[in-house]
Amino acid sequence: MLANAFYRKLEDRKWHSMASLNCMRKSTKPWNGGWSMLDTIQKGRISGLTGLMDFRSNGANSHVQFEILGTSYSETFGKDVKRLATWDSDRGLNGSLRENRAEHGMQGITLKVVTLLEEPFVMVAENILGQPKRYKGFSIDVLDTLAKILGFKYEIYQVADGKYGSPQANGSWNGLIGELIGKRADVAISAITITPDRENVVDFSKRYLDYSVGILMTKTEERLNIFSLLAPFDLAVWACIAAAIPVVGVMVFLLRRIQSVRSQNPPGPHQPASVTTSFQSAIWIVYGAFVQQGGESLMSSVALRIAMGSWWLFTLIVCSSYTANLAAYLTVTRMDNAVR
């Protein structure tokens, strides 16, 4: 509305455009084009997103409409907003701000109740020949109590298709929900599940039963296995690791013997081998490196350094993999029993 008014005034060459004004100074003269702008706005008439906008002489919009909303709480889906009434400037309030609630004013009213057999909520009672079919069950007891408190009577019948209600391809509903939507019944009572689709078309009472599906399984017997520390690796992996230790030990022993022969002071023919050049010492050094404990060794040759460096890298990878698999094995519960 304001943009249209400015556009119309800018086309009018007689209109005084807005000059530089300072509202903080009392000596500032008022804008001469202001009253003309207000008059143009009041005479304007446009249709926007909120409807028709048309101002009266006093500056009020004569086409104001409001929807008065109220919130109702549902235990299943939380708060729900519903329209209670409307208000417009001509007719005023249209509707009631209070929700319609059934109280003690239903005496003499006969309700049509549709139901579906579902034990133990709705069941067929022992019928007497020549009399209407009688029903019993938890939901029937609730219905009888409500009828006694509110003073109404009811006629109950079973739904023809034997379904609770689901939307069809053409937009209609079948079952109990279809009976309510088609105004053939006033109340539907059975073990009907509250779903969002159904709650969009009918009103439900507060739920009185929560029900879910579960699976029963036999309890596993906890067995203590003293070899559980070996579980992260397969038996073949442990066998390869056990075989790699003496193989690498023999290789280190041979390299040390070759190094001692080439040294300046080799051991004599009757002189026992030193600790660093014996076979037991080589095996011990290799085993100490595998368990990350180390050992006294003087590796002066390049061949020994390459061999031991490769062995250290191998042991680092094996120990890291073992630690990760052991943590996963001890923390993850394995369900070996099948569902019975």
CA 303 – CA 252 distance, rounded (Å) = 9
Instruction: Give the amino acid at 237.
Output: V
Is 83 labelled a binding residue? no
**Bond preceding residue 120 cis, omega within 30 of 0:** yes
**Partners of 67 in the beta sheet?**
86
Query: From CA 315, how far away is CA 307, in angstroms rounded?
Result: 12
204 touches 198 (CB < 8 A): yes
Residue count (the chain)? 340
Decide: 54 and 47 in contact? Cβ < 8 Å: no
213/151 Cα distance (integer angstroms): 38
Coil, strand or helix at 168: coil
Closest CA relative to residue 144, chosen from 193, 187, 202, 203: 187
The token duo for 220 is 């596993």
Q: Specify the DSSP element, H or E, that contains 5.
A: helix 2-11
Residue 38 in 3-state DSSP? helix
112-138 residues labelled b (16+ CB within 10 A) or e (exposed): bbbbbeeeebbeeeeeeeeeeeebebb
Q: Residue 198 annotated as binding?
A: yes
Question: Percent helix, strand and coil across the chain, each rounded to 5?
Answer: 35, 15, 50
Binding residues for L-glutamate: 193, 198
Binding residues: 193, 198
